[in-house]
Structure 1
Amino acid sequence: MATEEVNRPPSLPPYPEMIMKALEALNDKNGSNKSAISKYIESSYGELPAGHSALLSHHLNRMKESGELMFWKNNYMKRDPNAPPRRGRGRPPKPKVPLPPDTVLSPPRPRGRPPKDPNAPPKPPKAKVSAGSGRPRGRPKKISRSTAAGNSAPSGRPRGRPPKAKPSLPEVSVQQ
């Protein structure tokens, strides 16, 4: 900031003051853009420092962040003193209920799962509890057909589809 004051000729007022005068003089209801403000300052004050555009941009951004100016549709305008303060993006935080002054707060719980107690006695294994009926849970196991039919001895035929019969060639008799 010291370099800004050194670069500025002694006859010039501070940049925020020049910006506010420019906005008042331009008096546009939709605000004024940066080039209009710059042209007004150049015409009013004449001799400007070499980095005028950079200084103007810096001060406009700073005034916008501090809330002195409002930026909308690429135009800068003075903030209405009766307007409610603008809120930021996203959902607003929930209002905090004040606690009585004599309340003592406990420290917050640490994140994650608490560690196991090494001195705790081991727990006995849990017994399986049936669901009420004598059947086990899930799909029943597949029973092969041979055991279901009661024939434990296999038949003479092999399993599966029989092979395709090969056509036999007609016998050709050879005459002598």
Structure 2
Amino acid sequence: MATEEVNKPLSLPPYPEMILKAIEALNEKNGSNKSSISKFIESTYGDLPAGHNSLLSHHLNKMKESGELVFWKNNYTKPDPNAPPRRGRGRPPKPKVSLPPDAVLGPTRPRGRPPKDPNAPPKPPKVKVSSGGGKPRGRPRKMAKPTGGLSSSATVTDTMPGRPRGRPPKVKDSLSAEVSVEQ
């Protein structure tokens, strides 16, 4: 802020005043954009400081945040005193409830989960209660492989219907074994 006052000539009025005069003089229906405000200020007050564009942006933003100007559709206008206030995005904040003056507030609770009491007895485990209807949740349990059976030398093909899992073992022909011996 101190550098702004040092750099600008003494003949210039403050930037907020120049901005408001420019908006009034331009008198556009939807307001004036930054470039038209800048051109008006340059034509009216010839000798401007070197950082005019950055100073103008700074003061426009400052005036917009303070409520002196309304920024809508990339244009700056003076706020209408009869217009309802514009609501921002999102849910509006809850209204603050004022307490009576004689009300005493208790100590505020700290944030987060309270620490466990080391002297407290352990809680009993929770008992799972089934809803009683239909199939149980999750993947069904694997069935146990049958043991024993008709004979003690039961193979995998006897216990499972269809083919066994995996690649079948390689079968050696008796003829190929004899031919390889003769050669």
Q: TM-score, normalised by structure 1?
A: 0.69
Instruction: Tell me which residue corresponds to 2:152.
Output: 154
Are residues 45 and 105 of structure 1, via their aligned partners in 2, closer, same or farther at CA, if it must alter by over 3 Å?
same
Instruction: Tell me which residue corresponds to 2:88.
Output: 88
Question: 1:30-67 deviations in whole A, cap 9, x for unaligned?
Answer: 11111111111111122222222221111111111111
The residue type paired with residue 160 of structure 1 is V
Q: Secondary structure at the match of 1:71?
A: strand
Q: Secondary structure at the match of 2:32?
A: coil
Pick the structure with greater CA Rg. 1
In the aligned structure 1, how far is the partner of 2:116 from the partner of 2:129?
30
Instruction: Tell me which residue corresponds to 1:40.
Output: 40
Instruction: Tell me which residue corresponds to 1:14.
Output: 14
Q: TM-score, normalised by structure 2?
A: 0.67
- Aligned residue pairs total 158
**Structure 2 residue runs without a partner (length 5+):** 131-135, 158-168, 177-183
Q: Secondary structure at the match of 1:6?
A: helix
Compare 67-76 and 109-118 and name the one that shifted more: 109-118
Q: Check if 1:102 corresponds to 2:102.
A: yes
Q: CA RMSD in A?
A: 3.5
How many angstroms does 1:122 deviate by?
5.8
How many angstroms does 1:85 deviate by?
2.6
Q: Check if 1:144 corresponds to 2:150.
A: no
The residue type paired with residue 78 of structure 1 is K
Are residues 63 and 140 of structure 1, via their aligned partners in 2, closer, same or farther at CA, if it must alter by over 3 Å?
closer
Instruction: Tell me which residue corresponds to 2:23.
Output: 23
The residue type paired with residue 45 of structure 1 is Y
Question: 1:130-164 deviations in whole A, cap 9, x for unaligned?
Answer: 98xxxxx9979748364xx7x7x736xx4233x98
How many angstroms does 1:78 deviate by?
1.0
Are residues 139 and 27 of structure 1, via their aligned partners in 2, closer, same or farther at CA, if it must alter by over 3 Å?
same
Q: Percent identity?
A: 70
How many angstroms does 1:23 deviate by?
0.5
How many angstroms does 1:121 deviate by?
4.9
In the aligned structure 2, how far is the partner of 1:86 from the partner of 1:95?
17
Are residues 167 and 112 of structure 1, via their aligned partners in 2, closer, same or farther at CA, if it must alter by over 3 Å?
same
